[in-house]
Structure formats: structure tokens, C-alpha cells
Amino acid sequence: MTDAKNSLDAITMNSNGKQDSGSQENSFLELIKTLLFAGLIALTARVLIFQPFNIPSASMVPTLLVGDYLYVSKFAYGFSKHSIPFSPPLFSGRVWSADPKRGDVVVFKIPKDNSTDYIKRLIGLPGDRIQVVHGEIILNGEKIKREKIDEIVEVNGRGYPDRVIRYRETMPNGVSYIVYNHAEDGALSNTDIYVVPEGHYFMMGDNRDNSLDSRVLLPNGPVGFVPFENFVGRAELIWYSTSSDSPIWAVWDWIPATRLSRIGQLLR
């Protein structure tokens, strides 16, 4: 009778919310397993599917603005060690690779340090001969189609008005986009002929006078010719855009600074 009473007391105590040590340990283990599983799903999605990026510089204006947030397709070109956070040297080259196309907007690790992310437009493929003359791209002996749209005045990052010439460029494969020139003959508007090595690609920013890209070869610049292995992914979609440089906790700035017209824009 006493044993039955003790058992009943134990049941009553547990039903009142006091768990024994074994029950507490099981709950803790279940929590750890849940967190590990959620982390594994997030890591798998980041490595294999999409990765978010934000734009910190004006090198791709007007296609991309400072404060744009993008989804980048990780599977568009297959996978390399740079598809994984911190680029662990697990393997070399790419697996399940697919050929990039001229005009793609690409996120890649710069060859100078193999760790910093840049985003530029793919202009030249392996074996291409490329030269820039008075701001016009000569691709394999032929000028890329370029049509002047207009001239506008914009306020630059220092708060001063800046004259901008807008052109529409069209690649031989039909990809079309707008580029900015701030001068008819800027510092990188006239170059030597570049021959793109096998396994490498030639990148340029759409803001042609405000972009460090493949026109400046290593070791003088951070980019030069970009190895295919360094590709992280293809920019696909702007999922958010803000004109504010306020810290993320300044929630009162979110709504007035949101660029609604940019949300949902495709980048292909």
C-alpha cells in the first residue's frame, strides 16, 4: 500500500510540471537535434540553391544600386569549393558545371585573395580577344552594339552633381543592358588587347568609369581574368532594396527608405 502511495505521489508531482532528470535530458537532446537539423537544411540550401547578397558599391549602377539585396543561384554554373562558406579545400575545379553566358551578372571570389566577393557582368569567354576603345568594347574584332540613350545629371557619392552618359549595350547573344559613362574617355576607356585564357572569364562593371574589373590585370588590380572555379553563382533577383544606410535596428527607416519599384526585378 505504501509503494502504491509513493508511486501515486510521483505521478502527481510530475503532472504538476516537475520533470525528473531523465525527462529534462531528453528534452535538451531533442532541442539540440532540432537545431542541428535546421542548421543542416539552411547550410544545404545556401550551398546548393540560393545565397543572399547585398550590394555595397556603385560599380554595377544602374543595373544594381547600393542597398540592393539579391538572390544568387548557386546551381547555375555547378559547384566549386567557393560554393561552400569559407571555401574549404575539399575539391578542385567544378562539379555538375554549366557554361556561363555573355551578359550574365556573376558573383565571384576575386583572384587577388580568393575570398572577397565581387559582382560584375561577364563580357568575355575563354579565347576571346577584347579591347576597349573610346569606351566601346571590341569583341573578337567586332564592336559590341552600343546606342546612346541620353545624358543625365545625378548626385554622386560625395553629394555633388555628376554628368552621366547612358548607353544601351547589346551582346552578340542578344543580352541587353544599360551602362554608365561619366566621361567620353575615362581612365579605363582605352585599353590594350586582352586575350582571355582558357578556363577564365573577362568581367566589367556597368558603371564603366567607377569599376575595378578585368581591365586592370593582376597584380595591379584585384580582379584580372577570373578563373571559372572562383564563380560563386549567377545573380537572379532583387528581393529587397533600400536607400538607407541606417543600422539594421533602425526599423523606423525601413519603410520610407524601401525602393518598392526594384523589388522583384529579374537580373537576366
Q: Indicate which residue of 59, 80, 211, 241 is catalytic.
A: 59
DSSP structure class, residue 85: T
The CATH code belonging to domain 50-262 is 2.10.109.10
Grid coordinates in use for 20? 525528473
What is each CA distance from 86 to 47, 48, 83, 95, 114, in whole angstroms?
A: 11, 15, 9, 18, 10
Cis before residue 62, ω within 30 degrees of 0?
yes
pLDDT of the residue at 91: 87
- In what order do the strands lie in the sheet containing 105-109? 50-54, 68-73, 231-241, 105-109, 117-124, 200-204, 226-227
Each of the 268 residues of the chain gets a pLDDT tens digit; together they read 444 444 434 334 444 445 556 676 777 676 676 666 555 555 555 555 678 899 999 999 999 999 999 999 988 999 899 888 788 888 888 998 899 999 999 999 999 999 999 999 999 999 999 999 999 999 999 999 999 999 998 876 667 788 899 999 999 999 999 999 988 788 899 999 999 999 999 999 999 999 999 999 999 999 999 999 999 999 999 999 998 887 767 778 888 999 999 999 999 7
Q: 539579391: which residue's cell?
A: 70
Q: What's the pTM?
A: 0.81
Beta-sheet pairing, 231-241 with 161-170: unpaired
Q: Indicate which residue of 109, 120, 189, 211 is catalytic.
A: 120
Euclidean distance between CA atoms 242 and 219, whole angstroms: 35
Which residues does residue 218 pair with via DSSP β-bridges, in sequence order? Answer: none
Euclidean distance between CA atoms 2 and 86, whole angstroms: 63
Which residues does residue 237 pair with via DSSP β-bridges, in sequence order? Answer: 71, 266
59 belongs to the catalytic site: yes
* Domain parsing of the chain, residue ranges: 50-262
pLDDT of the residue at 210: 92
Euclidean distance between CA atoms 179 and 209, whole angstroms: 10
DSSP string, 128-149: -EEEEETTEEEETTEEPEEEEE
Grid coordinates in use for 11? 505521478
